[in-house]
Structure 1
Amino acid sequence: MAGYVELRENVYGKASFEVIEGLDVHDSVVYRVLKRTTDIAIALLLLILFLPVIPLVAVLIKLDSKGPILFKQKRVGKDGKEFDFYKYRSMVVGAESVIGILRPLSGASGPVFKLKDDPRVTSVGRFLRRSSLDELPQLINVLKGEMSIVGPRPNLPSEVAHYLPWQ
């Protein structure tokens, strides 16, 4: 088999899946340093670009509804480590307390559900979600090394509890 793999690489100039499968680039120090440096550079650039928008969004949230500007929620990151996940608040205060009432309306059976016209979302929150501006504070999580610009979205602990062992 080894002779075939070498012949194939020489003829086609491409490595086979067998060879590539054994490589785990994500474990290399160079990859991790490069990914982290890229995350920091992109997060800083985006924060600088959106600097004029940040105070405006904060004022709009305060004028629209009572409560904090930022929404903080526990999420599970790399290696199962929990951290505080930040977003601009787009729902009314106490929105999580009515999940039990709203879940049957969604038709969802799993730990996650979404309503098309969720009554908990504020007017400003609707705009923030459509424009994805509610995600801006997550750049803080990226700078702290809790999240990455590219990669899976951190899940809620309640979602992770339903994972199968291989997940």
Structure 2
Amino acid sequence: MAIGIPITIIASGQELRAAEEPIDKNARAEICVFEDWHFTDFRPTDLGNGVVGALSTGTTGVGMFSVWTASDCETGQNLDVTFNKVLWGGHPEVLAIPDQDELRVVPDRTNAQEEFLSRAVSMEEATIQKLHDLAKESEISADFERSNEETCGCAAFYPEMVGDKKPSRMRDEMPTWGKQK
């Protein structure tokens, strides 16, 4: 049974190397899962083309939130897609309309969000711009940001694309033996 450790055999003065077992990048991505009392990071998904997506959920003093972040591992460009926020007691998010004395309930976008995620993870040739266009088409809030730090998902699936970004602190926790798939 191979465990991913290279083996060198010396026979008659010649060095023969046993094949290294390739690393399962999905197993590396499991290191990115994080849970505590107020926050959860789910396992990132490789969208191909150097792009990964990851869902985070959390709670604040007033309610819950979800953000799905798509990261271009080479450029550090991120797209934060914000999903419905729910206030404690199950009440939907309420927005104050500027310069008016009224409140507006944000419509429930659960079906649109599920459709967006389904289409995003099955997208051919995913790019941050295509994902932004999909969010806009789905009428879901999405904002660009650039980071000089590698995301955990990028460290798991595209470690060779770190470039001059600060490496993810999770790299130390990931298995590094064998070849990259």
More strand by share: 2
Which interval holds the TM-score relative to the shorter structure? under 0.3
State the TM-score, normalized to the length of structure 2.
0.24
Name the TM-score, length of structure 1 as normaliser: 0.25
